[in-house]
Every structure is written in structure tokens, then in C-alpha cells.
Amino acid sequence: MASTAVVRRRVRRMLPRPALAAVATAGVGVALIPLVYLGVRVADAGWARISEEVFTARTGQLTARSVALAGVVTAASTVLGVASAFLVTRTDLPARRLFGVLAALPLAVPSYVAAFAWVSTVEGFEGFWAAALVLTLTSYPYVFLPVAAALTSADPAQEEVARSLGSGPWHTFITVTLRQIRPAVGAGALLVALYVLSDFGAVSVLRADVLTRAVFTSISLGFDRTGALVLATVLVALTLLIVSGEQLTRRRAARYARLGGAGRPPTRLRLGRLRWLGASGLVGTGALALGVPAASLARWFGEGVSRPGSLTGLATAAGNSLTVSAAGAGLTMLLALPLGLLGARAPSPVAVVLDRLAYLSHALPGLVIGLSLVFFGINVAYPLYQSVWLLALAYAALFLPLAVAAVGTAALQAPPALEEVARSLGRRRPHVLRTVTVPLAAPGIGAGAVLVFLTCMKELPATLLLRPTGMDTLATELWSQTSVSAYAAAAPYAALLVLLAAVPTWWLSARTSGLAPGGGS
Amino acid sequence: MRTTRPRGVASVAMGTLLALSLAACGGESEGAQLAGQVSDKKITVYSGRSESLVKPVLDDFQEASGITIEVRYGETAAMAAQLQEEGRRTPADVFLAQDAGALGAVAGEDLFAGLPDEVLDKVPAAYRDEGGEWVGVTGRSRTMVYNVDQVAEEDLPASVFDLTEPQWKGKVGVAPTNGSFQAFVTAMRVEHGDKRTQELLDGLRANDAQIREGNGPIVADVDKGRLAAGLVNHYYVYELAKEEGTSVDALKAKNHFFPNGDIGALVNVSGIGVLKGAGDDPDARAFVDHLLGMPAQTYFAQETYEYPLVAGVASAPGLPKLSSLNTPDIDLGDLDDLQTTIEMIKESGLA
């Protein structure tokens, strides 16, 4: 067997750092639980049922509309996110710090709250374009945050070189800066696209007829799990397409890591009169994304006579929200860490596949994730069933990509040369990981944890199915009140949810856009 | 209906995933508490009815009986799906549902233990399962809500089928994704057959029926004059009046009960079933008895404006008596064939 050595070498090239790859696989395993469930259930349904559900004009329409909605929202969010990030980090815009926070804060508003706000403010506000507007306003921070971070930490030397060679500021931006931040733009846009595919809140309230809504309708119209799950596989197929599409653009994007030295602030573009145009654009976006929900919530408080049970009820729900979200964020980060590091430090076909697999559950509606973990909990992990840990597992399956992206970006920005030095000095890999890589990447990892935490706070359908019996969170209480049209009673829960989510968002924006004192290093 | 093989395959596959993903996670839950003849003074209730509507009744029960209730609130359909997914290992003892269809779906997977005759007999035969799997707690009538400024009393239709007439074009709100609408359509199929039902659905669609997410938005829109009429349940006008702090009489939105046993006046129920594992649990039985007792029935009549189903309890002031309604003669146990109903609603283009 002379070829065994060759095979082994080839395998090693494909599978570098086996330990890391093994742990990373575990993380992906969690993200794949819903897919295994889907596969089994759909196979169980039989081919006749599948084709009867999938190959219909209606499913075709729904799919086309889902794709169109994801496309429109992603394009709009990318433009809005990149433009605000550029204005905030690279120009002499007035009150940049304030605008940086303003551009990130919509992340604290759950899409269903924003949708309710718009519906109750604008007469006849519904359908595709209504959903596109609301989803853009709630999800463009997914682009803003990574792009602002990339713009802050990108090496200004390259731009300076371009400028010194006679390139104008706009030309430099397009040829140099945009190339530098392309991975960040791509990662943000991918998250937006998958978020739109999986969102149920906004499309349901605004009655945009897309796949997710059809999945929910199948369940509520006649308790038809099979139909719902078959439709959900179409979402998985779409995710596969989008994720591999993004992978193609990523391959062409260059990797830039800044080596050594303290970061210098990049030169800021003087906008001249355009300053006020830029500022009013940001103010306008903020007013639409935050002002409308705020005004609407204030009106809910005043309208109606239903009142929330008690302050203790509110405090308990808030406490529960914080607990389950912390558990979710903790578990998700734990699973994301090896994956993110593997992708950044030991890129290989296996690492790429694992990374992409982690995204597959991200576009599934929370209801499907919820049902799959009910199944998993009942049949496989019964002691965990209806415990906080199974809910945390659902959050991990849903939000792993957010965490992996954060870890990956952070690790990419920590120069590998430092690790190589440590290795050359005889340190073993785990030691280097602990003493060099993780501390360097820690701020980025922290940001990822905060992002996941925040997203868990807003999650609704999976939380409803999986929370421990008797445990209410802010999101479930809010849902419970709005479902009986008790808006005044729902208002405090909605307000507290947004306020609690705003704190980490504020921290995130201040940190990521490098605007906090001492930030941006 | 479900075979065991895929479940086994899935369990193995997922077990492998679990082994990969979770090294050791200590669970504090002791697993399902086995129901026995002995009272452990504790029951778990899955409630498809919202907390704000049923919590006072549950609190009363806990206080009176000393039995602790663990409640899980959710939408009736999602709860039914969860129960079906959990199967026999469900931690639930009792399922409190918003409509007969959901109870029928759970009964269809053979998950209910069945109720004794002395419980069933408290409620008229029309409002309980023929096979004794579940029993109705409250009655909910379908009505047409209309705006008094836009629809004159003499123009009120005698039958729900009249709504496909040209004078109603673009004026009628429906909520096709709502459970109560779907139960109404299923009942129509039972009474009038699939062909006539499909004609009505297609007719509503062709007559530009206005689609809403639920009954609440329809009643609100009718009251504000954005819609002339809509097909809803009778108590939504009361809920709207309560939320706005006014009386039902002051609203522009009024209920019209279809006469002559028209299918548009179907009375559906909210009801309760006891799950297999709690068949002999005296605590679960005590809970069912409580819901069918005078205080709880009176509460539902006065606070949620539903019809009490146990004899001797008066319905809310202003509501026509349940016995005075000329309701269609439908076996609610027949409302579990929702699959075809969905296909038909989808086919009509309403959802």
C-alpha cells in the first residue's frame, strides 16, 4: 500500500489541525439537527406528497417572491449599511459618534414590533413593498456594523499609496477601500439575505405572501406539519444557493491583515456642503427605523385600557429574557469558536464546507427549528426537554453564523505572524491558541456574543415552543398580549424589550465603529 | 398514521449529532412524572387559549384545590403540532384548546385518554366529542360583524352564501388563516358538500373579499368604517369595546347572527382533553371539573363574552341566548378533516 502515505498526506492537507476540525464539527452538528429532522420527516412524507406540495404554481410564486424580497432587502440594506458606515467612519460628518449609534440601534427593534408600528401608523400599509421597507430598516445594521468595523481597522497605508500615485479620493475609495471591505460587505449582506428568508414577524403582520408565511400558515391552517416541513426544504435549497453564491464572491476577495504597529486613524474625506445632505440622510433613516416604532409604542401606552399584570411580572419576564439569551449566546459562542478559528487559521476545503454548513439552518423559520428540537428533545435528549438548555441549543442552531462570522473576522484581523512567532519559540498549539490568538481576537468574539445575545432576546417562534413550561420572556409576553389585541398591555413589554436590547446594541456600535474612546485599535 | 421506523432512524441520527455536540449537560428535569392514581397535587396544562383570557380561572383553581398548575401558553395550532410531535412522552396532562378542530387533530393521533360520561354529560351533546375524547368548555358563534352606518338592517343577508352577491363586492373582511374561519369552512363542507363550499370560497375571492390576519383586525376595521362587514366570532366586538374602554352599544360594529340554521352561524367550542398519561390522574380530572363548574362558566360568560355550555349559567348581557340561536346541526367531531379544507382555501386563492 504505497499510496496510503500519499492519501494520508492529502487528507492532512484537507484536514489541517484535526483536533480543531473535530471540535468544529461538533458545532456544525448542532446547526444540522433541524436539517436531519427535516430530511427524515420529508422522506417520511413520501415522494408523492413532496411533489404535490413543491411542484405547484403556488410554491413557485412563493419562492419567487421570497427570493425577490431577499434580493430587494439585501440590496437596499447593503447600500444603506455601506453608505452610513462610510459617512460615520470616513468623513467629517458632524456628530459622527451619535450617528454611529443611531445606525446600529434598529437592531434592537424586533421585526414584528416594527411591523406593528408601521401598520398602526400608515393606513393600508401592507404587502411586498411594505415588508421590504420594514425589513430593510430593521436589518441594515447587519451590514453597517461589520463594514464600519472594517473601515475603521483597514490599513490606511494602501489608500495613502493609491493617493500618492495620483488617484482621486473617490477613485481610491472604489478601487482600494471597497476591495478591502468586500468580505465585510459580503458577510453582512449574506446575513441580511438569510434573515429575510427566515423572518416571520414582519411578513406575517404586513401580509407579504412569502415562503415563511406559507410554512406558518400550513401549521395554523389544519395542523399540517408535513406540508410546512416540505415547504421549509425549499428554504434550505435557497440557502444553499445563496451561501454558495456568496462563497464564490468571497474567493475572489483579497484578505488584508494589518501587521504590527498601532492602528492609525484613516484620513477623513471632506464632504463640504454634502455634509448636510449626508447628515439629513442619516437622520431620515433613523427617524423611519426608530422614530416610527417609538411613536407607535408611546401611542400604545396611551390608547386602550388593558394594563400589564404587574411590575413583578414585567421584571420576571425581563429576567427570563436575559437568562435564556445569555445561555443561548454562551452556548453559541462555545460552538462557534472552533469553527471561526478553523476558517481563519486553517483554511481548507473541509473548513469551508463546515463554515457553509453552519449557515444552512439560519434561513429556516424559528417554528421549524422549534419543532425539530421538540422532536430531538423528546426522542434523544429527554432530560433536556423544556429546559433552558434545549432552548439555548435552538438559539445556537439559529444564530451560529452570526457568531462564526464575528469570530472569523476577529481572528483574521489578528495577524497570524504573532502566532507563528510563538510557535517558533516552541509553544504548543493549544497554548498559542490560549495565550495569543484568543486574547487578540477577544474583542471581536465579545462583539459576536453580544450580537447573538441581542438576537436571542428578539426571537419568538422557537422560544414559544421550547421554553420551559411556565417561563415567560418579554417576547412571549408581548406576543401573548398582542394576539388578543391588548396593545396597551403589550406596550411595556415591547418597550422594555427594545430598551434592554438597545444597551448591548449601543455598546456594539460604539465598539465596532471605533467611535468609543480608546476604540478602534 | 406515523410509522415507527423513521423515528428510530432519526433518533439514531440525532443521537450521533448529540454525542458530537454535547459532551455532558446535566438536566435537572426528572423526566415525565408518571401519572398514577395518587394525586401529586400538580398538573401541566398546555393552553392554546391566551393567558389574559384564562389565567384568572386557573388561579381560582389553584387556590381552591391546592393543586399547582404549570401552564404553557401558545397558539392552539402550534400547541396541537407540539403535542403531536411529543406523542406519548408529552409532559402535558391536559390540553385546553381554542377550537374543536385542534382537539380533533390531537384525538386523531390517539393521544387523549377519553373522559367519563359524568363529565361529558354536563355539556349538551352538540358541544362535545361523540367518542368522548374531549368536551367543550365555552361556545363561540360565527357572526357577521357590520358597520351600522354602512349596512342598513334590512340589507343584512339571510345566508353567508349571499356574500358573493355584487352588492358585497370588496366590502367583506375574512381571515382565511384563522382557525375559526377554517372550522367554519370545514363545517360548510360537512353540511353542503365540497362543491358548494368551493363555490363560496371562489365567490368570496372573486367578489374581492378583504383578507385580514385575524378576527380582531376585521372588527377594528369595521368599527372604523374601513370595511363594511366581516366574518368573525361573536365576542370580538366585546373585546374591542373593552380595549377602547367603551360599551358594545357605543361601537359602530354590530353582530349579525345568520338566521335559519345557516352555516354562517356555526357554534364552535373551546374545549379540553386529558392526555393519555394523565388518564387516571385525579388532579387532571379536578381541573376539568373546575372548568365545567359554575364559577368558571360564569367567568367565561361575563369576562370573555363566550357562551357558557353548562346548564344554568347566564350568558353576557346583550347577547342572544345560545338556545335562541338557530344554529346549524353539525357534529363538531367531524371538523378534523382540515387537510382538504386547506387545499380548498388555497385553491380559492384566499390564502
Percent with pLDDT over 90 in chain A: 28
**H or E stretch covering B46:** strand B42-47
pLDDT tens, position by position, B206-250: 999 998 878 888 999 999 999 999 999 999 999 899 888 888 899
Q: Which three cell numbers stand for residue A432?
A: 498559542
Q: Which residue has the cell 383578507?
A: B211
Cα B5 from chain centroid (whole Å): 33
Q: Which residue has the cell 415552543?
A: A465
pLDDT tens, position by position, B137-188: 999 999 999 999 999 999 999 999 999 999 999 999 999 877 789 889 999 9
- Taking only residues 214 to 233 of chain A, the set having a beta carbon closer than 8 angstroms to any beta carbon of chain B reads 217-225, 227
Q: In whole angstroms, what is the distance from residue A114 CA to residue A125 CA?
A: 12
Residue of B nearest to A124 (CA): B226
Question: What sign does the dihedral A65-A67-A70-A74 (CA atoms) show?
Answer: negative
Q: In the predicted model, what is the mean pLDDT of chain B?
A: 86
Measured from the Cβ of residue A405, the count of other Cβ atoms closer than 10 Å reads 27
Q: What angle do CA A213, A218, A220 make, to 5 degrees?
A: 90
Q: Which three cell numbers stand for residue A177?
A: 477601500
Say whether residue B303 is in contact with chain A using an 8 A CB cutoff. Answer: no
Judged by CB atoms closer than 8 Å, whether chains meet at A489 and B245 is answered as no
Say whether residue B51 is in contact with chain A using an 8 A CB cutoff. Answer: yes
Cα A260 from chain centroid (whole Å): 30
Judged by CB atoms closer than 8 Å, whether chains meet at B71 and A41 is answered as no
As for the ipTM of the complex, it is 0.75
Beta-strand relationship, B134-147 and B267-274: antiparallel
Q: In whole angstroms, what is the distance from residue A340 CA to residue A351 CA?
A: 9
For the whole prediction, is pTM greater than 0.90?
no
Distance from CA of A326 to the nearest CA of B (A): 16
A147-to-A4, A82, A86, A89 alpha-carbon distances in Å: 46, 6, 8, 10
Q: Which three cell numbers stand for residue B302?
A: 361575563
**What residues have CB less than 8 Å from A47, skipping those under 6 apart?**
none
SS3 A381: coil
**Mean pLDDT of all residues in B37-52:** 85
Residue of B nearest to A45 (CA): B2
Report the amino acid identity of residue A195: Y
Please give the pLDDT value at position A326.
96
Q: In whole angstroms, what is the distance from residue A109 CA to residue A137 CA?
A: 10
Q: Where are the beta strands (DSSP E) in A322-464?
A: none
Q: Which three cell numbers stand for residue A198?
A: 427566515
Nearest to A359 by CA among A516, A197, A498: A197
Say whether residue A60 is in contact with chain B using an 8 A CB cutoff. Answer: no
Nearest to A49 by CA among A217, A210, A218: A218
Q: In whole angstroms, what is the distance from residue A494 CA to residue A504 CA?
A: 16
Say whether residue B68 is in contact with chain A using an 8 A CB cutoff. Answer: no
At A72, the pLDDT band (50, 70, 90 cuts) reads: very high
**Mean pLDDT of all residues in B13-18:** 54
Across the interface, of B22, B90, B243, the residue whose CB is closest to A486 is: B243
Say whether residue B341 is in contact with chain A using an 8 A CB cutoff. Answer: yes
Greatest distance between any 2 Cα atoms in chain B: 72
Most confident stretch, A187-191, A310-314, B50-54, B75-79: A187-191
Greatest distance between any 2 Cα atoms in chain A: 82
Across the interface, of A225, A379, A385, the residue whose CB is closest to B14 is: A379
Q: In whole angstroms, what is the distance from residue A518 CA to residue A503 CA?
A: 19
DSSP-assigned letter for residue A248: H
The answer to whether A199 and A24 have CB atoms below 8 angstroms apart is no
Please give the pLDDT value at position A418.
76
Contacts of B189 in chain A (CB under 8 A): none
Percent with pLDDT over 70 in chain A: 87
The answer to whether B184 and B240 have CB atoms below 8 angstroms apart is no
The answer to whether B175 and B219 have CB atoms below 8 angstroms apart is no
Distance from CA of B18 to the nearest CA of A (A): 8
Judged by CB atoms closer than 8 Å, whether chains meet at B177 and A222 is answered as no
At B302, the pLDDT band (50, 70, 90 cuts) reads: very high
Q: Is the pLDDT at A243 greater than 70, yes or no? A: yes
The answer to whether A459 and A410 have CB atoms below 8 angstroms apart is no
pLDDT tens, position by position, B315-339: 888 888 888 888 888 888 777 677 7
Q: Which residue has the cell 447600500?
A: A79
Contacts of A227 in chain B (CB under 8 A): 342
Judged by CB atoms closer than 8 Å, whether chains meet at A378 and B105 is answered as no
DSSP-assigned letter for residue B112: B
DSSP B276-330: GGGTT-HHHHHHHHHHTSHHHHHHIIIII-PEE-STT-PPPTTSPPGGGS-----
The answer to whether A475 and A498 have CB atoms below 8 angstroms apart is no
At B10, the pLDDT band (50, 70, 90 cuts) reads: low
Please give the pLDDT value at position B3.
41
Q: Which one is predicted more confidently, A423 or A372?
A: A372
